[in-house]
Amino acid sequence: MSILKDVLSELFGMFVGDARLTAAILAMVAVAAVLIDGTALPPLAGGIALLAGCIAVLVVSVRREARQRGAAIARPPEDG
Amino acid sequence: MLDWSTATPAIGAAFLASLVEVVEAFTIVLVVATLRGWKPAVLGTGAALATLGAVVLVLGPLLDRVPLHALQLVIGVLLLLFGIGWLRKASLRAAGVIPLHDENAIFAQETAELSEAVRRQQTSQDWIAGIAAYKAVLLEGLEVIFIVIAVGAGRELLWPASLGALAACALVLVVGVIAHRPLSRVPENTLKFGVGVMLSAFGVFWTGEGLGVDWPGQDLALFVFAAVFLLAGLMSARMVRQPVPEVVQ
């Protein structure tokens, strides 16, 4: 059972290592799908939005993680 | 006839990603071999490869039943989740925000943990060591299978991608057997950076195709996406490496 648990945990971690990152990427895919299927814009516009959105998600996610880790290091240990 | 403009990135991504995963699995197998001999290491590895083979045999035929656009969309989204996750981590490592993967340190840690587990169990010590090798190869192998399917299934390139993965396994095995120590000199973060770039590019490409986008330049668009992700990854690493100015309130 431990092996099965580890396998499931590994599979989950492969795609949902960071819930915020996962949610942001899925949101970008949803936006692209709406642009392609729900508007009169050419499908390529949705594709470009997907690429640009994923790049933005990557940059924001790296900056957020770096800021959080920096703040954790800079923060003095609490008493007690 | 093989279209090399699509096959090259697929084979390259499968090779490089497999190289990273196999190096990680090899470290654990080497721990087992060093502590308990090659028998449990080889048995555990063989059993894991058999399990992975069974997974491929079961899942492989199912892929043919899924409509191409649906397959591209699902795999594309999974690739985006997986690839951007890798690229983000590689950027953070390149910037020094999180520590680099150190195979020597992992070897020492795994050796200590397995020694403790074996010491606690007076019986069937080889069994415990074999299970450790089995788990390592199975877990890393699952990632290899996903990557091979992800980069190969959308264009019927499963065989070329599999060959890329097998070449990586053979390379690590040969170098590992000769060196007989953890392969710590492999530039793992650079490889992960490159693989993250490629998987993210494939992710945008397949997701777009699955949604009905007809990319200009067809498969050559992959190279443009890879260049854009590479620049974004490098830029992100550079941005977070710089000191953050103090905020004056």
Task: Tell me which residues of chain B have a C-beta less than 8 Å from any C-beta of chain A.
Answer: 77-78, 80-82, 84-85, 87-88, 91-92, 95, 97-98, 131, 134-135, 138-139, 142-143, 146, 200, 203-204, 207-208, 211-216, 225, 228-229, 232-233, 235-237, 239-240, 244
Eight-state DSSP code of residue A1: -
Domain residue spans in chain A? 18-74
* Nearest-Cα residue of chain A relative to residue B201: A51
Tokens 């490629």 sit at which residue?
Answer: B198
| Residue B123, in any domain of the structure | yes
Which residue would you say has higher pLDDT here, B175 or A30? A30
* Nearest-Cα residue of chain B relative to residue A51: B204
For B95-220, where are the alpha helices, taking DSSP H only?
103-120, 125-152, 158-179, 188-211
Q: How many domains does chain B have?
A: 1
**B202 CA: distance to closest CA in chain A (Å):** 11
Chain-chain contact of B98 with A69 (C-beta, under 8 angstroms): yes
Report d(CA A50, CA B212) in Å as an integer.
Answer: 13
Report d(CA B239, CA B233) in Å as an integer.
Answer: 10
In contact, B152 and B166? CB cutoff 8 Å: no
Q: Mean per-residue pLDDT for A42-58?
A: 95
Give the tens place of pLDDT for each residue, B150-166.
Answer: 888 777 788 888 888 88
B131 contact residues in A (CB cutoff 8 A): 3
Nearest residue to B26 (alpha-carbon basis) of B165, B184, B164: B184
Give the tens place of pLDDT for each residue, B31-62.
Answer: 888 888 888 888 999 999 898 888 888 887 78
Chain-chain contact of B208 with A10 (C-beta, under 8 angstroms): no
| Residue B117, in any domain of the structure | yes
Nearest residue to B39 (alpha-carbon basis) of B124, B146, B140, B130: B130
| Residue B26, in any domain of the structure | yes
In contact, A65 and B97? CB cutoff 8 Å: yes
Give the tens place of pLDDT for each residue, A12-27.
Answer: 877 787 889 999 999 9
B233 contact residues in A (CB cutoff 8 A): 58
Q: How confident is the model at residue B228 (pLDDT cuts 50, 70, 90)?
A: very high
pTM: 0.80
Distance of CA A4 to the CA centre of its chain: 26
What pLDDT score was predicted for residue A79?
47
Report d(CA B3, CA B104) in Å as an integer.
Answer: 40
Range of the domain at B43: 4-240
* Nearest-Cα residue of chain A relative to residue B216: A44
| Residue B27, in any domain of the structure | yes
Chain-chain contact of B232 with A3 (C-beta, under 8 angstroms): no
Nearest residue to B161 (alpha-carbon basis) of B21, B17, B1: B17
In contact, A50 and B203? CB cutoff 8 Å: no
pLDDT at B221 over 60: yes
Give the tens place of pLDDT for each residue, B103-143.
Answer: 777 777 878 887 777 777 655 677 788 888 898 899 888 88
Report d(CA B213, CA A48) in Å as an integer.
Answer: 10
ipTM for the assembly: 0.85
Q: What's the token pair of residue B28?
A: 């654990």
Neighbouring residues of B152: CB distance < 8 A, sequence distance ≥ 6: B10, B14, B158, B159, B160, B161, B162
Report d(CA B168, CA B159) in Å as an integer.
Answer: 14
Distance of CA B10 to the CA centre of its chain: 13
A55 contact residues in B (CB cutoff 8 A): 228-229, 232
Mutate to test the interface with A, among B223, B231, B240, B246 (most CBs of A within 10 A): B240
| Residue B246, in any domain of the structure | no
| Residue B248, in any domain of the structure | no
Chain-chain contact of B142 with A63 (C-beta, under 8 angstroms): no
**B135 CA: distance to closest CA in chain A (Å):** 7
